[in-house]
Chains A and B, each alone.
Chain A
Amino acid sequence: MPRGFLFIVLFFAALGHSFNTEDHLRILASSRWQGQRAKVALVLSGGAARGLAHVGVLKSWQEKKLPLDLIVGTSVGAIVGALYASGMDGAEIDRIIAGLNWNEIIEFRVTPSRILNLNSIISSEKMGDWMFSHMGDKKFSDLKIPFLCVACDIRTGEKIVFRDGDLIPAVRASSCIPGIFEPVEYRHRVLVDGGVVDNVPTDLASAEGADMIVASWTGGSRWLSDSRSIIAVLTQVISVSGTVLSRRQLEKADVVIEPDLKDVSPLDLDKFVQTSEAGYDATVKKAGEIEKMFLEKTLEKIKAAPDK
């Protein structure tokens, strides 16, 4: 045996059983109070490549068995949220995205002959195909976890909320960065990335009746790549304006998970492993607080329940 006996004895003496109030409350919340427990929403922000940290967030969320009743997503948060809501587990999403060759699904359209009439720099069609290969032709009603996503009608500036119908057009619209991807025409609207109007839609979660809102915030990039390319500047503009818009929305969240992404730009798709790890670690750090908040909100509902 690689370890000494004495060490084992000390280990067990130190370990012992130590169940705490949260352990005991959790048992009741997951059984006796199941029908009354607090409804928890996870809101996944935009952030382009930075938003892939949501994959790590969900992976950790699942591992920690944190309660989840609703996912709301914008932009990349809509893509990751839809994959998870459709029944994929966090580790599976992590594996798929880690193995993804982005060059295969990002099709640049810029050629000298087309530049004047260009609708977009990158075609989102292959992105749609990729989504289809993982989510099929699911509708919102087919999802295992209720899910909403937002997009912006570029003609009216309205915030459009998708909660029913086909999933993929809604997710494509929600993640369609204006100027980079071609706007999605859907339901008589011309739609672009939801991050333009609401980069972290906590108010939607609240309107859907969530008792507790956790926001995974991956916007706020202050990092602009040296290239100053059109794409870099455009994504940074959206990120900066999204951050300003998001301040009040973040105040509506009970807990904010903010992965450490200080050296990840919105274009750093090749830093996925680091980004996802950052999301995972940030969630591990917040898990205790999320759980305590959940139990507190559940007790609030018990208190408010009519006498039996």
Chain B
Amino acid sequence: MRKLGALTVLSALVFISSCAGVRIGRPSPLKIAASFEAAGNPDEAVKVLKNASLDPDLKPGAKREILTALAELYANQKDNLNAIKTLREAAQTGDGDPFIGLRLGEMLLREGLIAEAIAEFIALENRGVKTPSLLLGLGEAYYKNGRILKATGYLEQYLKIYPDDKKAQLMLYESYEASGNYPASRNALSGCAAILAEEDFALRMAMNWMRDGNPDEAVEELEKIKADFPESNFYLALACYQKGDLDKALNFFAQAPDSLADEASFFRALVLFELGRKAEAYPIFKKLALKENYSRYCAVFVK
């Protein structure tokens, strides 16, 4: 899909260049690069555009087109840093094309340079740009930056335009969940159920119910996937523990799969401790205290 996108960009730029008369008399570098790209030789396409961009006689508009196309090629090759560098160079050619700013923000986001991505997106927003891509970019950037309320605001706006974007819905669910808005979170999660595996969806829903203080609903969700998803035993145990059904919790913790063995042992030890069976709990805490994930919490009981 991304490759198709790049080809479309290249083709569009080829067309525009032809109309604009870029280097009339010899084939446009965009055209040559597009043919290399179509022939499955992206490295050669990069070389052509890179050389073309160094031409000192190139007009700013033409240079911008070449650099934008070059950045797309880099992006396709997952060379995000070069894509960012090239887009920055393209942005310096003037005219403040919002497309370049948006792509730059998206690439920065993809590279994990969140603060820089936000700065790029905000600069566009301050210039009055309000496209769905920008709303999504800001929503995603703030979400990744831990700015939950801001993320929620942008994602809600974006989803009014594209209500079927499951990725955005999933981020919105996570944002609501993090801010403790559990009913809204359930709605958002239901909206993206189609793209989640059944057990993933049920597990997220069960965690939501437990966070919302309703372990009975969590048990109901988990029972649906219990037969095919052994991890559900751990979460059933957690829900029983939350409800105060400690014997049942112990039973379910014992059935947790190997992938959750340490986690189940830790919580099993907590239940045993609460039941007053401290002699059984201590060796478990002592053993887990040596493991990085549990050392801090187990140290409380072994010191």
Contact = CB atoms under 8 A, between A and B. Distances in A.
B301 A303 contact: yes
A16 B170 CA distance: 11
A24 B263 contact: yes
A23 B207 contact: yes
B243 to A, nearest CB: 8
A303 B207 CA distance: 25
A21 B263 contact: yes
A116 interface: no
B300 A296 contact: yes
Given A1-B165, A307-B276, 7 more contacts: A12-B167, A27-B210, A27-B238, A65-B178, A296-B300, A303-B273, A308-B274
A17 B203 contact: yes
Contacts of B179: 63, 65
A299 interface: yes
Interface of A: 1-8, 11-12, 15-17, 19-21, 23-28, 30-32, 63-65, 91, 280, 284, 287, 292, 295-296, 299-300, 302-303, 307-308
B36 interface: no
Interface residues of B, number: 47
A17 B200 contact: yes
B112 interface: no
Contacts of A19: 203, 207
B1 interface: yes
Contacts of B166: 8
Given A299-B301, A302-B273, A2 B133 contact: yes
Select the residue from B132, B145, B297 with max chain A CB neighbours within 10 A: B297
Contacts of A303: 273, 300-301
B167 A17 contact: no
Given A5-B1, A17-B200, A27-B211, A63 B296 contact: no
B297 A296 contact: yes
A91 B241 contact: no
Contacts of B204: 17
Interface string B238-254: 10011010000000000
B213 A31 contact: yes
B272 interface: no
Q: Which secondary structure dominates chain B's binding surface?
A: helix
A6 B207 CA distance: 28
Nearest to B244: A32
A295 B267 CA distance: 13
Contacts of A32: 241-242, 244
A281 to B, nearest CB: 9
B58 to A, nearest CB: 29
A15 B169 CA distance: 13
A273 B222 CA distance: 46
Given A27-B211, A299-B297, A8 B244 contact: no
B129 interface: no
Nearest to B166: A8
Contacts of B178: 64-65
10 contacts: A1-B162, A4-B2, A6-B2, A7-B1, A8-B167, A8-B195, A17-B200, A24-B238, A64-B178, A295-B297
A252 to B, nearest CB: 20
A285 to B, nearest CB: 9
A165 B133 CA distance: 53
Instruction: Give the 8 A-B residue pairs with the shortest CB-CB distance, closest first.
Output: A4-B1, A2-B133, A299-B300, A65-B180, A307-B276, A27-B210, A4-B2, A284-B146
A30 B300 contact: no
A15 B170 contact: yes
A11 B143 CA distance: 14
A159 B196 CA distance: 59
Contacts of A284: 145-147
A30 B200 contact: no
Contact of A296 (B165, B203, B238, B296): B296
Contacts of B267: 24
B136 A2 contact: yes
A31 B240 CA distance: 12
A20 to B, nearest CB: 8
A98 to B, nearest CB: 15
Interface in B238-289: 238, 241-242, 244, 263, 266-267, 270, 273-276
A4 B106 CA distance: 13
A3 B276 CA distance: 55
Contacts of B170: 12, 15
Interface string B186-214: 00000000011000100110010011010
B122 interface: no
Given A1-B165, A2-B132, A91-B149, A25 B297 contact: yes
B148 A11 contact: no
Contact of B213 (A15, A30, A307): A30
Nearest to B145: A284
Contacts of B180: 65
Nearest to A2: B133
Contacts of B210: 27, 31
Select the residue from B166, B210, B263 with max chain A CB neighbours within 10 A: B210
B5 interface: yes
Contacts of B276: 307-308
Contacts of B133: 2
A115 to B, nearest CB: 46
